[in-house]
Amino acid sequence: MGLSAEVGALAGSVTAGAGAGVAVAGSALGRISVRLGPPMLADGEESALAGFGAGQSLGLRRSAQHQLSAWEMKLLRMEFREIGGDPARLRFNQGPLTAYSDTNDLIYVRGDVLPSTQPNLVHPRSLMSSRAALAHELGHANFRGTEVRPGSWNDAFRASYWAARNVPSLSVEERRRLVQDALTRAEEAGRTITKHKFILETLNGIPVRL
């Protein structure tokens, strides 16, 4: 399922089997994955996922201003290796947000890579694990060089969808959250995504006969 897309916000049409291809007109950090709110929030405050482009992304995660500790960085390197990533591509506590850079093929990792600590949250981007967030970044890296405007919804959609289908060693729940994130980004943009077999099986956790 090749889907044209960009980061964070939602704008554009997507259907199963649609092709993706186009050039990156990027910001300094390129596509920004889990778009978290004002990067100048104080450490310990929750960050609201801010929308870009035509739609608005919602949800809460840890503040981007939370300084990742040596122990947290060690854990994140281990998690990234577990899902097939090269920890040498990670840059911790740099840049305003957790983001993939098309320019240098690096992933900038801030405190917002961690899920929210607030109870009773239901938004998929609030519940997404750090492994799933890093998998989302690998999704952006997979589409490096395609012509999609950073800030549009469909880049984030395809990053989560691709990660759910292709990144190894994710749990059933992590794949479900990534699919939910992709669908929520489309919904926030007012777009309809056909729920084909992979999506239905991932969401429901059981085989689906269509």
Per-residue pLDDT tens digits for 145-187 = 887 776 678 899 999 999 999 999 999 999 999 999 999 999 9
Evaluate the CA torsion angle 162, 166, 169, 172 in order and state its sign: positive
pLDDT at 197 over 50: yes
- Global pTM? 0.76
Is the model more confident about 120 or about 32?
120
Domain spans of the chain? Answer: 46-204
- Separation CA 183–CA 157 (nearest Å): 7
Per-residue pLDDT tens digits for 125-144 = 999 999 999 999 999 999 98
pLDDT at 60 over 70: yes
Phi, psi of 202 (to 5 degrees): -65, -40
